[in-house]
Structure 1
Amino acid sequence: MMEMLQKGGWLMVPIGICLILTLAITIERLVNLRFSRYLDTELMEKIRGYLGRGEFEGALQVCRSKNIMFNRLMETAINYRELEAAELRQLLEDQSRQEADVLERFLTILRTIATIAPLLGLLGTVAGMIKVFQTLNVAGMSQAHNLSGGISEALITTAAGMSVAIPTIVLHSYFERRATIIMLRMEKRIIELLLLLRSHDAVSS
């Protein structure tokens, strides 16, 4: 393995850094991109119960008991419940976009790695072929066995770059889809509670 890395040349270093970053981000996203970190089902049911009884202060206390995304959004909805429906929806959409940054954390880095890793491999290919032609110019075809170093460098870096890029693309798509699903599931539950909130306000008035 070490021999292969050495034959690949110095461009194996940035490719290796890309691999380490991908692994680190993958572990971080698997840990933090879980639905339970953004919505607590038990607390949501408590909020639903308070809203159903028109006890807004009780619902706010539940929202403030745990600092997670769903609770923050619902706290905003309850505090500004007297706004027109369109204004409240716009307010929540704006806050949701800001909150979504947490869901999409490090995905830009994954996308960048997926782009530059094969380019680094291609650069290694070019560097290796330059060595090949330099050897040909200096030694001629009689020293063809000296070409192996440049050719191996070209092939190894290309393979390494693609080996990093392909799983990174898959992981980026997976985490992006997972973030979208989490956001959609939260929005669905927020809409349900907003309808409950609005219906209670209509009855109260």
Structure 2
Amino acid sequence: MWEFLEKGGWLMIPIGVCLLLVITITVERLVNLRYARFVDNELLDKIRGYLGRAEYDGALQVCRSKNIMFNRLMETAINYRNLESGELRQLLEDQSRQEADVLERFLTILRTIATIAPLLGLLGTVAGMIKVFQTLSIAGMTQAHNLSGGISEALITTAAGMTVAIPTIVVHSYFERRADSILLRMEKRLIELLLLLRTNDAVSA
């Protein structure tokens, strides 16, 4: 295996670094990009109960008991519940956009790797073909066996670049959809509690 990689030339090093980054990011996202890390259903039920009884201090205490994205958004909603609906919605949307960076962490790196990995492979192809033509110009067709090194470098780097890029595209797409799904589920829960919050405010008024 090492001999095979060595034939690919020095460009196998950045391609290998790209592969290690993809593996590391994939493991990190599988561990951290989970719905339970952003919404605690048990705490959500407690918040719902407090809001149903218009006990806002109790709801705030539950929100502050665990520093996760949904609780931070809900704490903002409760603290600024006296704002007009449009203003409160805008405030929460602004905060959500800032918080969403956590959901999309490292996805830009995956997208970049998916773009540059095949380009690195293509660069290896060009470098290998240059070696082939240099050998031809020096030794001529009579030394055709010397061409194998350049041809191997051209083929191996291209294959390595595509081997890294293709699964990276799939992984990026998967985590992007997963982040969108978590955000959508969280927004549904937030809207549900906002409606409860608004209803209680209207009744108490």
Q: What is the letter of the counterpart of residue 3 of structure 2?
A: E
Separation of aligned partners in 2, 1:141 and 1:64: 76
Determine the structure 1 residue equivalent to 2:126.
126
Q: What is the letter of the counterpart of residue 136 of structure 1?
A: L
What is the deviation of 1:65? 0.3
Q: Please list the CA deviations of residues 96-147 of structure 1 after superposition, one character each: whole Å capped at 9, or x if unmatched.
A: 0000000000000000000000000000000000000000000000000110
SS at match of 2:82: coil
What is the deviation of 1:166? 0.3
TM (normalized to structure 1)? 1.00
What is the deviation of 1:20? 0.2
What is the deviation of 1:164? 0.2
Separation of aligned partners in 2, 1:112 and 1:4: 26
User: Percent identity of the aligned residues?
Assistant: 83
1:38 partnered with 2:41: no
Q: What is the letter of the counterpart of residue 136 of structure 2?
A: L
Q: Please list the CA deviations of residues 15-41 of structure 1 after superposition, one character each: whole Å capped at 9, or x if unmatched.
A: 000000000000000000000000000
Q: What is the letter of the counterpart of residue 43 of structure 1?
A: L
Determine the structure 2 residue equivalent to 1:62.
62
Alignment of 1:103-114 (within 5 A): 103-114=103-114
SS at match of 1:66: coil
Separation of aligned partners in 2, 1:153 and 1:177: 37
SS at match of 2:100: helix
Separation of aligned partners in 1, 2:77 and 2:50: 14
Separation of aligned partners in 1, 2:197 and 2:4: 64
Alignment of 1:18-37 (within 5 A): 18-37=18-37
Separation of aligned partners in 2, 1:20 and 1:201: 53
What is the deviation of 1:187? 0.3
Separation of aligned partners in 1, 2:83 and 2:26: 41
Unpaired segments ≥5 residues, structure 2: none
What is the deviation of 1:175? 0.4
Determine the structure 2 residue equivalent to 1:79.
79
Determine the structure 1 residue equivalent to 2:94.
94
* RMSD of aligned residue pairs (Cα, Å): 0.3
Separation of aligned partners in 1, 2:6 and 2:181: 43
Q: Please list the CA deviations of residues 133-192 of structure 1 after superposition, one character each: whole Å capped at 9, or x if unmatched.
A: 000000000000110110010000000000000000000000011000000000000000
What is the deviation of 1:194? 0.2
Q: Please list the CA deviations of residues 82-109 of structure 1 after superposition, one character each: whole Å capped at 9, or x if unmatched.
A: 0000000000000000000000000000
Separation of aligned partners in 1, 2:6 and 2:81: 64
Superposed structure 1 runs of 4+ greater than 6 Å apart? none
Unpaired segments ≥5 residues, structure 1: none
Separation of aligned partners in 1, 2:68 and 2:79: 17
Separation of aligned partners in 1, 2:184 and 2:90: 16
TM (normalized to structure 2)? 1.00
Determine the structure 2 residue equivalent to 1:147.
147
**How many residues were matched structurally?**
205
What is the deviation of 1:54? 0.3
Separation of aligned partners in 2, 1:23 and 1:4: 21
SS at match of 2:101: helix
